[in-house]
Structures are given as C-alpha cells and as structure tokens.
C-alpha cells in the first residue's frame, strides 16, 4: 500500500479550492449577498470597505484550505472505498457535514436566520461535492 501523494493532494486541493470558492462566491455573494448584508447590518456590523475585503480574503483562504483537506480526506479513504467519484462524493459529504454543522451555530445562537443559513448550506453542499469530484479526479497514488 503506497503512502499519500502529497504533491497530488496539494494540486488537487488547490483545484478543489477554486471550485469551492467559485460556487460559494456565487451562492453567498451573487445569490445571497443582499441577505447576508442585511442580516449582518442588523447585528450592528459594518462590512463596508476594508472589513469586506478582509472577510473576502478570509473566506477565499478558507475555501482553499477546505479543498486541500478535502483531497487529503479523499486520499485517506481511497484504500477502503476505492478510487473514483463515489469516494470523492463521500469525502465531499464528510467535509460539508463537519463545516456546516459548525456554521449551524450561526442559526441556533440567533445570529442569522434559519433560511439564510440553510440556503448557504445548500450551496455549500454543491461546492463540497463538486470540489471533491474535481480534486479527486486529479489525485493519483503515484
């Protein structure tokens, strides 16, 4: 049994990160951006100017880190589930479940509405699975 190909994890992870960031950007920016702005403003948080740029940089970095973790997870479970799209989907679902369970705290602590968090989570599911399929397709053991 070969070890994990770190170079492929990073390369596939960066591709997965691009996919995640594009889909999350469309979901949370183009589609839900006005709702995020409205609910954030209700909390008394000013996201204009530098704060918005800092937030965007943080989310883009988060997407790339998730992509790398996602492909590492795919590589780690490949020996048990076998290579291919089914295993990539399992890895994507696992990443989505972990990250969005944490994000659910935004709703149950009353920071953001259920509808907004649920819509964002739905987009996150698409992003995680699509990122896993893209990154997993690049991963090879050797």
Residues written for the chain: 142
> Any idea of the CA torsion for 114, 116, 19, 138, to the nearest 10 degrees?
10
Give CA–CA dist 130/124, Å, rounded. 10
Collapsing DSSP states into helix, strand and coil, what is residue 50?
Answer: helix
Selection from 33, 30, 53 nearest residue 41 by Cα:
33
Q: Residue 16: count other Cβ atoms within 10 Å of its Cβ.
A: 36
pTM above 0.85, yes or no: yes
Q: For 71-119, what is each residue's pLDDT tens digit?
A: 999 999 999 999 999 999 999 999 999 999 999 999 999 999 999 999 9
């Amino acid at each position: 049994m070969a070890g994990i190909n770190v170079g492929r994890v990073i390369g596939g992870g960066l591709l997965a990160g691009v996919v995640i960031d594009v889909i999350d950007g469309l979901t949370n920016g183009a589609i839900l951006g006005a709702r995020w702005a409205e609910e954030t403003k209700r909390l008394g948080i000013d996201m204009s100017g530098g704060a918005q740029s800092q937030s965007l940089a943080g989310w883009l970095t988060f997407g790339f880190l998730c992509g790398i973790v996602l492909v590492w997870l795919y590589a780690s479970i490949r020996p048990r589930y076998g290579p291919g799209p089914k295993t990539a989907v399992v890895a994507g679902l696992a990443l989505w479940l972990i990250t969005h369970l944490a994000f659910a705290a935004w709703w149950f602590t009353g920071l953001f509405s259920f509808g907004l968090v649920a819509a964002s989570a739905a987009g996150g599911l698409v992003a995680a699975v699509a990122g896993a399929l893209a990154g997993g397709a690049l991963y090879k053991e050797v």
